[in-house]
Structure 1
């Protein structure tokens, strides 16, 4: 089942897939599931360039790929259930049913926490997951399951932002505090999500995102 599943996810547009052991997390977080599947779709370097130079006014590609990642997660959950296992896609439509706290804008088990456990990257000063290879240039969604899958848990990567404050300096509404993430840190010490306008400036101007863009586009 594993090879068939991974092959089909990639065929349907995923750029990376990772599986994570979540059995040791509190049951409140893992909801009784043993494994999480992380699905990622990359943003195009052309989109990053256009948004950086403000030649793209509406970040439609980002929202389209956010939606696509969620659709893929729901497809994966259905596929796994069809094989006789249990699965729960952490798409927005499913999380609103008691798994997302609107007042604090937090989910029970964030995609970013699963990504950290997979070794994909670290939490940046912009409160986004930053991968060394892609920067913040991707959308992701997750599936929780009891299916037996090979696991990719790795050591938690601590932030590599150093003294960089690009995201803080460029934020038009000053919601980024410039704080370096540490395990179990309260998110509100990093960013004021309640007043964020989702303009994506902190995403595209992150030096790691710019490195991804420059490595994959002819300027």
Structure 2
């Protein structure tokens, strides 16, 4: 079933699919499900170039791919249900119904946490997921299920940002504190999400994102 699912998702524009065991998490986090499927769509190098080098504000591609990955998470849940299993898409539409805290701007099981269990990347100083392959140029969503899918958990990757403070320095709202993430660290010590302007500058100017842009453009 997993191979069929991945094949279908890739024909719909998904760039990667990760499956991890979440049975060790609390019921509050995993909602009683044992498996999480992470779906990712990559932002194009040309889009990253325009936002970072031409210093423009353009949410079109980011918003479209965020919408697409949310829709595809719901499609994935329906695909799994049609196979006779339970599934819950952690789409924005679903999470808003009791699983998103408006006051703290948090969810019970962030897509980033699932990505970290999959060994996809680490939490950067911007509080975004940073990957070696794409930097932060990706949109993600996830699906929780009880389907007996093969999982591949990997060790948590600690930050590889070193002394870099590009995201902090370029942030116009000055909401990034420059702190290095540690396991169990409170998010508010890393970034002030309440005053973030969602300008995407930290995402596009991250040195790992720039590396992805340059390699993919060559």
TM (normalized to structure 2)?
A: 0.98
Per-residue CA deviation, residues 3-53 of structure 1 (Å, 9 max, x unaligned), is 111110111110000001000001110000000000000000000000002
Rounded to whole Å, the distance in 2 between the matches of 1:214 and 1:191 is 27
The residue that corresponds to 2:40 in the other structure is 40
The residue that corresponds to 2:126 in the other structure is 126
Rounded to whole Å, the distance in 1 between the matches of 2:198 and 2:60 is 12
Per-residue CA deviation, residues 127-171 of structure 1 (Å, 9 max, x unaligned), is 000000100000000000000111110000000000000000000
The residue that corresponds to 2:137 in the other structure is 137
Moved over 3 A (4+): none
User: CA RMSD, aligned part only?
Assistant: 0.8
Q: Aligned residue pairs: how many?
A: 218
Deviation at 1:55, TM superposition (A): 5.5
Q: Is the 8 A contact 1:51 1:59 kept in 2?
A: no
Q: Is the 8 A contact 2:132 2:208 kept in 1?
A: yes
Q: Does 1:68 align with 2:49?
A: no
Rounded to whole Å, the distance in 1 between the matches of 2:49 and 2:103 is 34
The residue that corresponds to 1:149 in the other structure is 149
The residue that corresponds to 1:18 in the other structure is 18
Rounded to whole Å, the distance in 2 between the matches of 1:110 and 1:50 is 29
Q: Is the 8 A contact 2:57 2:199 kept in 1?
A: no
Q: Is the 8 A contact 2:119 2:154 kept in 1?
A: yes
| Structure 2 unaligned spans of 5+ | none
Rounded to whole Å, the distance in 1 between the matches of 2:56 and 2:14 is 24
Q: Is the 8 A contact 1:23 1:30 kept in 2?
A: yes
| Structure 1 unaligned spans of 5+ | none
The residue that corresponds to 1:31 in the other structure is 31
